[in-house]
C-alpha cells in the first residue's frame, strides 16, 4: 500500500476516527468534575513544588538528565501527528459534505466552515477525534511546568495561568462543538512542533539557546488567534450564527486575558533587553 494512502487511512479514514463521538460516559476526561479536579491538582502541585524548591535554597538545580530532551521530542512528535491528522480529517470532511453545503440556505464555503460550524453541529467524526487527542495532549504539556520548577525554581504566573486556560478551552471546544477549533488546533500544533523541536535541539546541543524565538512564536500564535476570533464574530453576525458561540465568547475573554499578560511580559523584557525567563507553553 502506498505511503500517502496508508497515512490518510490511519489518520482520517480509520473507523475509530470516523465514528468518534464525544461522550461523558465513554471519553476519558470528558466530565466537568474531572476538568475542575485536574486543573486544581495541577495548580496546587506546581505551587507546592515551587515552595519546596524555595525552602531548599541549597539545591540550585535538580539534575534531570535527558528527561527534558525526551519530553520536548515527544511533544514535537505528538504535535506533528495531531497537525497532520486534523489537516487530513478536515480535508476529508470538506470532501464528504461539500455537496450538502451547496444546497444549504447559507451556501457554506470550506473557509467559512473552518471558522464557523453550522448551528446544530455535534462533537463527532474525524475533526473532533483529533480535537480530543489535542485535549489529552494538553495534560502531557503540563510536565513542562514541573521540569521548569525543578531546573529554575521559578513559576511564572503567566505560565501557570496559560496552561490552565488551554486545558479549559480545549475542553470547551469538545463540550460545545465550538467553531474555529480546527484552525486553532492547526496553528497551535504547528507552533508546538517548532518550539518543542527547537527545545529538543538546544537540549542536545545542536542549536544555541535563543529565547527570542520562543517569544516570537507565542506572539505569532496569539496574533493568529485574534484574527480568527474576529472572523468567527463576522460570520456569526452576517451568516446566521455559528455553533458554540457561547463557548467562543468565553474563550475570547480568556484569550484576551492571556494576550494582555503576554504583551505586558513581552514589553517588560523588551525594554530591559533580557529574555531569561520567557513564557512557557
Average pLDDT over every residue of 258-277: 63
pLDDT > 90? residue 72: yes
Most confident of 93-107, 130-144, 198-212: 130-144
Q: According to the model, what pLDDT value does residue 270 have?
A: 57
DSSP state for residue 124 in the 8-state scheme: B
Task: Map residue 170 onto helix, strand or coil.
Answer: helix
Contact 115, 180 (CB under 8 A): yes
Q: According to the model, what pLDDT value does residue 280 have?
A: 46
Query: d(Cα 217, Cα 224) in Å, to the nearest integer?
Result: 11
Burial-class residue 179 by CB neighbours within 10 Å (0-12, 13-18, 19+): buried
Average model confidence (pLDDT) across the chain? 85
Residue with grid cell 496552561, as numbered in its chain: 163
Cα within 13 Å of Cα(78), Cβ side: 21
> Considering all CA atoms of the chain, what is the largest pairwise distance in Å, rounded to the nearest integer?
70
Q: How confident is the model at residue 9 (pLDDT cuts 50, 70, 90)?
A: very high
Task: Map residue 205 onto helix, strand or coil.
Answer: coil
Backbone angles phi, psi at 124, to 5 degrees: -150, 155
Among 74-78, 81-85, 232-236, name the one with the lowest average pLDDT: 232-236
Most confident of 8-17, 57-66, 261-270, 272-281: 8-17
Alpha carbon distance, N-terminus to C-terminus of the chain = 38
205-209 CB contacts, 8 Å cutoff, 24+ apart: none
Burial-class residue 18 by CB neighbours within 10 Å (0-12, 13-18, 19+): middle
Q: According to the model, what pLDDT value does residue 34 have?
A: 97
Average pLDDT over every residue of 198-221: 79
Q: How confident is the model at residue 2 (pLDDT cuts 50, 70, 90)?
A: low
Average pLDDT over every residue of 38-62: 85
Backbone angles phi, psi at 21, to 5 degrees: -145, 125
| Rounded (10°) CA dihedral 167, 173, 175, 176 | 150
CA 206 to chain CA centroid, nearest Å: 26
Contact 142, 163 (CB under 8 A): yes
Q: How confident is the model at residue 260 (pLDDT cuts 50, 70, 90)?
A: confident
Residue with grid cell 479536579, as numbered in its chain: 37
Which sign does the torsion angle of CA 187, 263, 159, 274 carry?
Answer: positive
Average pLDDT over every residue of 82-109: 80
Task: Take residue 253 and report the three cell numbers written for it.
Answer: 475573554
Amino acid at each position: 500500500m502506498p505511503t500517502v494512502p496508508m497515512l490518510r487511512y490511519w489518520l482520517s479514514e480509520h473507523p475509530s476516527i470516523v465514528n468518534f463521538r464525544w461522550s461523558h460516559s465513554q471519553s476519558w476526561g470528558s466530565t466537568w468534575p474531572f476538568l475542575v479536579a485536574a486543573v486544581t491538582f495541577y495548580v496546587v502541585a506546581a505551587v507546592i513544588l515551587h515552595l519546596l524548591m524555595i525552602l531548599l535554597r541549597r539545591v540550585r538545580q535538580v539534575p534531570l538528565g535527558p528527561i527534558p530532551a525526551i519530553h520536548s521530542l515527544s511533544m514535537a512528535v505528538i504535535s506533528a501527528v495531531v497537525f497532520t491528522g486534523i489537516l487530513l480529517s478536515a480535508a476529508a470532511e470538506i470532501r464528504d459534505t461539500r455537496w450538502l453545503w451547496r444546497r444549504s440556505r447559507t451556501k457554506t464555503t470550506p473557509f467559512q466552515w473552518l471558522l464557523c460550524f453550522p448551528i446544530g453541529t455535534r462533537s463527532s467524526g474525524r475533526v473532533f477525534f483529533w480535537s480530543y487527542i489535542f485535549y489529552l495532549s494538553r495534560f502531557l504539556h503540563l510536565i513542562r511546568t514541573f521540569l521548569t520548577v525543578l531546573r529554575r525554581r521559578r513559576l511564572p504566573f503567566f505560565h501557570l495561568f496559560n496552561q490552565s486556560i488551554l486545558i479549559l478551552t480545549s475542553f470547551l471546544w469538545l463540550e460545545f462543538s465550538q467553531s474555529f477549533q480546527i484552525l486553532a488546533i492547526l496553528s497551535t500544533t504547528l507552533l508546538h512542533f517548532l518550539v518543542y523541536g527547537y527545545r529538543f535541539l538546544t537540549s542536545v546541543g545542536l542549536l544555541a539557546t535563543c529565547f527570542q524565538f520562543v517569544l516570537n512564536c507565542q506572539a505569532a500564535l496569539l496574533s493568529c488567534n485574534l484574527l480568527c476570533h474576529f472572523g468567527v464574530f463576522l460570520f456569526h453576525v452576517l451568516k446566521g450564527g455559528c455553533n458554540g458561540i457561547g463557548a467562543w465568547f468565553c474563550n475570547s475573554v480568556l484569550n484576551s486575558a492571556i494576550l494582555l499578560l503576554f504583551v505586558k511580559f513581552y514589553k517588560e523584557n523588551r525594554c530591559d533587553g533580557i529574555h531569561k525567563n520567557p513564557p512557557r507553553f
